Amino acid sequence: MAKVTKAKTHPKMAKGKLSEIRHQPGMSGAFKHKSASYAGPKHTYPIGDKKHARNALARAHFAKNPEAIREAVHRRYPEIGKKKKK
């Protein structure tokens, strides 16, 4: 059986601040993932692997600055979202 762990808060974040951040629009996933790379503010769009990067692209329209998320994903994975040539 897999061990279930709670999401840890950022080490420099005051107690209770995380719940305040997560109640803001578009921030419900803040600091939930341990992925190495993030495209959004406060760890909201993890892009550590291709699966998460595709998901970040699909949900980028919820962000305040969706173009920044798209740019971060394409910087890390240039092949995602490109049409194949025939």
- Quick one: which of 23, 16, 75, 76 has its CA closest to 49? 76
Q: How confident is the model at residue 5 (pLDDT cuts 50, 70, 90)?
A: very low
In a domain, 13, yes or no: no
In a domain, 54, yes or no: yes
Q: How confident is the model at residue 71 (pLDDT cuts 50, 70, 90)?
A: very high
Q: Measured between alpha carbons, how far is 69 from 75 in angstroms, rounded to an integer?
A: 10
- When divided into structural domains, the chain yields a total of 1
In a domain, 63, yes or no: yes
Q: Measured between alpha carbons, how far is 16 from 75 in angstroms, rounded to an integer?
A: 34
**Distance from CA of residue 20 to its chain's centroid?**
18
In a domain, 66, yes or no: yes
Whole-prediction pTM: 0.58
In a domain, 51, yes or no: yes
For the ranges 9-18, 49-58, 69-78, the lowest mean pLDDT is seen at 9-18
